[in-house]
Structure formats: C-alpha cells, structure tokens
Amino acid sequence: MSIPEDEVTLFQNANTARRRGDHATAAALYRRLMAAHPQSIEARESVELLGRMLFDDGMSSDALACFKEYLRRGGELAAEAMLGKALALQQLGQTEEERAAWTALLEAYPESPHAERARLRLAILRDPW
C-alpha cells in the first residue's frame, strides 16, 4: 500500500500527529512535505508550524531556524513567526538579537496583542533590575 504524498494529505497527517502529541512523526511529515512540495502553501505554512512545535519541545535553536526561514519566504503568519523568533532568541540568551527581534515585531505590528508584550520585554532588557 503506498502512502499518499500529496501536499494536503501530508499537511493534514502532520497536523494530526502533532495534535495527538506524536511530534517525531509530525516533524518527519512536515519535512517530507517541504522536500516534496517546496512551492506549496502547505509547505510554506509547515515551516512556521514546525518552528512552533520545536519551540514547545525546547528545541529553540532549531525553532529559530524555522522562524527565520518562514520570515525569509514570507507568509500569512509573519507576526507569529516574528514572535516565535523573539521568544526563541530569549530562550537562547542571545540578548542583542532578541532586542532587535522584539523591536522589529513592535514596529511591524504595533496594534497587535504582541506589541505590549514586546514593549514590556524591551523595558526589561533595557533595565533588568
């Protein structure tokens, strides 16, 4: 029996695996989707979803790479990818890059629910005491 390889099925299967907590399978399916259908919208969105899942699992460095790649290619979830990038940098302790990431998020989405979070985080980075 062959495994369906179209982008929508791969995307749905990856999401299902992620929701049931099987993150290893989900990551493998997201990566297979990106390799097999790199130009598809499903592959593009998979980059952000994979980044968020890796961040949840504590793999901040890999998550950061995903968020950067998503922002390089562009997509509807740019605000979420910028937030993920800032949080991953915070986890990694890369303060200067983190400061730049929060600043960029604040400038790009000043009316978003992330703006106040960015302002507070920048204030803490400015004066940690």
Contact with other proteins (CB under 8 A) among 34, 52, 85, 98: 52
Among residues 17, 26, 48, 55, which is the contact residue for other proteins, using CB under 8 A? 48
Structure tokens at 33: 């989707």
Q: Tell me which residue of 81, 84, 99, 89 sits closest to 44, measured CA to CA.
A: 81
Q: Which two tokens stand for residue 81?
A: 């990818």
Q: Taking contact as CB under 8 A, which single stretch among the options 7-15, 26-34, 66-74, 91-99 is the one that binds other proteins?
A: 7-15
Max CA distance (Å), the chain = 61
**Could you say whether residue 37 binds other proteins (CB under 8 A)?**
no
By the 8 A CB rule, do 42 and 11 touch?
yes
Q: Rounded to the nearest whole angstrom, what is the least distance from the CB of residue 97 to other proteins in the complex?
A: 19
The tokens describing 41, both together, are 């919208």
Binding mask 76-95 for other proteins (x = CB under 8 A): xx-xx--x------------
CB of 2 vs other proteins, minimal distance in Å: 21
CB 42 within 8 A of CB 15: no
Contact (Cβ atoms closer than 8 angstroms) between residue 81 and residue 69: no
The footprint of other proteins (CB under 8 A) covers: 8, 11-12, 15, 19, 40-42, 45, 48-49, 52, 56, 76-77, 79-80, 83, 111-114, 116-117, 119-121, 123-124, 126-129
